[in-house]
């Protein structure tokens, strides 16, 4: 904790906000998880860079997250340094007629509305995904036939020595729910997205249509992290889980959603251990009955 105290003292000097013993259940869409020793909430790139440099000096690898909508945090919490880039790190601007730059904490909803405002098409698929732009780039988030790969031109990042860098195009390594940043411990600071000029009314209609699909099909009234498993080649995790009769199957407060079997929900009082155990039991049963190995999409930390 001594090393962390030095970073906290440094953060105070540069006016970077932080929270001690931060309950991660307040920062994750699953509403589970223990306390993080400290969560830093930088509001400028300068603050972020200073925190990362102090971490590097103290040989601490911080954990970075955005909106916590694809995250399961251990019930024991997170030791060391955690950095949140969400509404504390939100900025968006038009670079030219069809190019947008936004900082990593910008919500996808904000980004989609900004594109709409400027009659730019290409991001409609992302409307309704409750993450940040940084989290979406890291995960190559996608839905309804679209993915970040289609619109992401480049990402700015900072490595853990505090040095800035940039990945462009192919270098981003965007694949199914993964990118060159996956498990790499770089911090994505900003995204450049290239869209196309479109018709405002049509863009809006598409966004509303896709949002309505989510409302109709997904258990949005209960805490979750969206699809719990990745889509297996040539199949759907939800269909396989339903086929195995697991809709509604529960462990403690964790449940396979009765509305959409691809979602695990916190029906009340779930712990992360409940959710993890449920995930293991479901994938074991699916493997036994269908021969398909499911892989968890949701990231676990702790």
Ligand X SMILES: Cc1cc2nc3c(=O)[nH]c(=O)nc-3n(C[C@H](O)[C@H](O)[C@H](O)COP(=O)(O)OP(=O)(O)OC[C@H]3O[C@@H](n4cnc5c(N)ncnc54)[C@H](O)[C@@H]3O)c2cc1C
Q: Which is nearer to ligand X, 108 or 119 (CB)?
A: 108
Task: Tell me how far, at minimum, the Cβ of 125 lies from ligand X, in Å.
Answer: 8
Minimum Å distance from CB 92 to ligand X?
15
Q: DSSP readout, the chain? A: -HHHHHHHHHHHHHT-EEEEEEEGGGTSTT----EEEEEEE--SHHHHHHHHHHHHHTT---EEESS-TTEEE-TT-EEEEEEE-SGGG--EEEEETTEEEEETT-BHHHHHHHHHHTTEES-GGGTT--SBHHHHHHHT-EETTEEGGGTEEEEEEE-TTS-EEEEEGGGG--BTTB-TTTTS--EEEEEEEE-EE--HHHHHHHHHHHHHHHHHHS-TTS-EEEESBPPPTTS-HHHHHHHTT-TT-EETTEEE-SS-TTEEEE-SS--HHHHHHHHHHHHHHHHHHH-----B-SEEE-
Q: Residue 223 Cβ, how far from ligand X at the closest point, in Å?
A: 8
Q: Which is nearer to ligand X, 41 or 119 (CB)?
A: 41
For the question of residue 227 being annotated catalytic, the response is yes
Which residues make up the interface to ligand X (CB under 6 A)? 29, 64-71, 85, 104, 129-132, 134-136, 138-139, 141-143, 181, 187-188, 218, 220, 224-226, 299
Q: In what order do the strands lie in the sheet with 224-227?
A: 224-227, 263-266, 254-256, 250-251
Nearer to ligand X, 109 or 292 (CB): 109
Residue closer to ligand X, measured from CB, 82 or 119: 82
166 is catalytic: no
Complex with ligand X: residue 78 or 203, whichever CB lies closer = 78
Cβ proximity of 146 and 139 under 8 Å: no
Tell me the closest approach of the beta carbon of residue 104 to ligand X, in angstroms: 4
> Of the listed 227, 231, 257, 283, which one is catalytic?
227
Q: Enumerate residues 6+ apart whose C-beta is below 8 A from 249.
A: 255, 256, 278, 281, 282
Is residue 214 annotated as a catalytic residue, yes or no?
no
Q: Shortest distance, CB of residue 184 to ligand X, whole angstroms?
A: 8
101's tokens? 């730059």
Tokens of 107: 């919500």
Q: How far apart are CB 99 and ligand X at their closest, in Å?
A: 20
* Identity of the residue, 127 or 249, whose beta carbon is nearer to ligand X in the bound complex: 127
Which is the catalytic residue, given 177, 257, 283, 296?
A: 177
Just list the catalytic residues.
Answer: 177, 227, 297
């Amino acid at each position: 904790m001594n090393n962390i105290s030095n970073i906290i003292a440094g953060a105070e000097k540069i006016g970077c906000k932080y929270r001690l013993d931060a309950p991660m259940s307040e920062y994750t869409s699953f509403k589970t998880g223990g306390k993080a020793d400290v969560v830093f909430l930088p509001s400028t790139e300068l603050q972020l860079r200073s925190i990362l440099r102090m971490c590097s000096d103290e040989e601490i690898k911080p954990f970075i997250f955005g909106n916590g909508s694809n995250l399961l945090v251990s019930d024991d919490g997170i030791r060391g340094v955690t950095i949140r880039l969400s509404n504390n790190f939100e900025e968006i601007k038009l670079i030219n007629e069809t190019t947008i730059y936004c900082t990593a904490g910008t919500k996808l909803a904000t980004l989609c509305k900004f594109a709409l405002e400027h009659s730019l098409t290409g991001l409609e698929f992302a409307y309704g995904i409750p993450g940040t732009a940084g989290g979406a780039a890291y995960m190559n988030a996608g839905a309804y036939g679209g993915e970040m790969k289609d619109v992401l031109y480049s990402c700015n990042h900072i490595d853990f020595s505090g040095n800035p860098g940039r990945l462009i195009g192919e270098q981003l390594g965007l694949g199914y729910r993964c990118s060159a940043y996956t498990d790499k411990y770089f911090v994505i600071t900003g995204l450049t997205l290239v869209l196309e000029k479109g018709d405002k009314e049509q863009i809006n209609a598409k966004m509303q249509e896709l949002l309505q699909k989510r409302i109709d099909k997904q258990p949005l009234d209960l805490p979750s992290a969206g699809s719990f498993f990745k889509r297996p080649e040539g199949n759907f995790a939800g269909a396989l889980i339903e086929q195995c009769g697991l809709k509604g199957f529960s462990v403690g407060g964790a449940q396979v959603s009765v509305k959409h079997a691809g979602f695990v929900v916190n029906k009340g009082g779930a712990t992360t251990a409940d959710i993890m155990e449920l995930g293991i039991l479901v994938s074991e049963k699916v493997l036994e009955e269908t021969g398909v190995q499911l892989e968890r999409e949701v990231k676990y930390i702790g």
